[in-house]
Amino acid sequence: MRRWLEAFDEYEKACQLSPRDPSPLVEIAITGWLYRRYPEAVAAANKAISIAPDQTWPYLAKGFACWSWHGASDEARKAFELAPPEHDWSPWVRYWQMVYEGDYQDALDYLASVPGQWVKIKIDAKPLAMYEAYVHDELGQFELASTAYQDAKSLLEAEVKEYPNDPRYHSSLGVAYAALGQKENAIREGKRALELYPLSSDAVYGLPYVIDLAHIYTLLNDDDNALDIIEQQLSIPSMISAPLLEVDPRWRRLHTHPRFQRLLKKYAVPER
């Protein structure tokens, strides 16, 4: 509901009422991450870890905040390494950590160890082939990337047909279409995800579909629309941050754009 400061107040009350419960601390960490109160987010996550070192979400919340605060940091990697490898989110975070660090071959090797054909979490659902395609692109292996995108497209089209109201599949399919040069299909699917789950109805879980649409525009060389979304995301509570934009290869082709560079300077994140 975008009532961020009230959320902090309520979570603080929950911490006072139940000081040995890590859950409200995790929520403070996640809210602080999105609201860009990174030191507070990491401190809350660390406190949750000290209370419940066997739980997963304190480590994930810490890693997310570190990503947006510092980009590909050792602190984020160490947090994600402490999350159980069998947890649903572990393949997603470990893959992106490797990619943010530029360890592309390690990321490919890791994907080969992930069981099944998919990574499905609450905010995203993509075939492993899609993640492979991203890395092949970065390695200049464009034929392998195209084949992987085609494989991902086929799997996603089947999921969209079976689950037409799940925005995750539409959003991911839009990215696959964009990578394959299918402009109209790509924009249609990206916008369909936002229709199904608009940011106006959920200021947290609506974010990934907005970001995917920016990625779609980037792949289609539509810099203006991509940068409009990125600028909007930087101006509101979001997982997007200047440090994260610099390490995420999805935005690599924008790096030389003067407007992109101006946004990085305008929304630079203080170190401490």
CATH classification at residue 25: 1.25.40.10
Average the pLDDT over each of 158-167, 208-217, 262-271 and give the range with the smallest value: 262-271
Whether pTM exceeds 0.75: yes
Q: Quick one: 136 and 232 in the same domain? A: yes
- Is residue 209 one of the residues assigned to a domain? yes
pLDDT digits (tens, 9 = 90+) for 180-202: 999 999 999 999 999 999 999 99
Q: Average the pLDDT over 24-46 and give the result.
A: 98
pLDDT surpassing 70 at residue 228: yes
Q: Average the pLDDT over 106-127 and give the result.
A: 96
Q: Quick one: 237 and 116 in the same domain? A: yes
CA distance 120 to 172: 11
DSSP 40-88: HHHHHHHHHHHH-TT-SHHHHHHHHHHHHHHSS-HHHHHHHHTS-TTST
Expressed as residue numbers, the domain containing 133 is 103-272
Q: Quick one: 163 and 228 in the same domain? A: yes
Q: Average the pLDDT over 104-124 and give the result.
A: 96
The confidence score (pLDDT) of residue 120 equals 96
pLDDT surpassing 80 at residue 206: yes
Domain C-terminal end among 84, 118, 142: 84
Q: Quick one: 52 and 110 in the same domain? A: no
What's the pLDDT band for 52 if we cut at 50, 70, 90? very high
pLDDT surpassing 80 at residue 102: yes
- Is residue 89 one of the residues assigned to a domain? no
171, 212 in Cβ contact below 8 A?
Answer: yes
- Is residue 41 one of the residues assigned to a domain? yes
Q: Quick one: 185 and 255 in the same domain? A: yes
Q: Quick one: 131 and 74 in the same domain? A: no
The confidence score (pLDDT) of residue 272 equals 60
What's the pLDDT band for 98 if we cut at 50, 70, 90? very high
The confidence score (pLDDT) of residue 202 equals 95
What's the pLDDT band for 129 if we cut at 50, 70, 90? very high
Q: How many domains does the chain have?
A: 2
- Is residue 92 one of the residues assigned to a domain? no
Q: State what percent of residues in the chain have pLDDT above 70.
A: 100
Q: Quick one: 137 and 65 in the same domain? A: no
Q: Quick one: 41 and 135 in the same domain? A: no
Q: Average the pLDDT over 125-134 and give the result.
A: 98
Q: Quick one: 80 and 203 in the same domain? A: no
The confidence score (pLDDT) of residue 270 equals 84
DSSP 180-234: TT-HHHHHHHHHHHHHHS-TTT-TTTTHHHHHHHHHHHHHTT-HHHHHHHHHHHH
CATH classification at residue 109: 1.25.40
Q: Quick one: 20 and 127 in the same domain? A: no
100, 72 in Cβ contact below 8 A?
Answer: yes
Q: Average the pLDDT over 246-253 and give the result.
A: 96
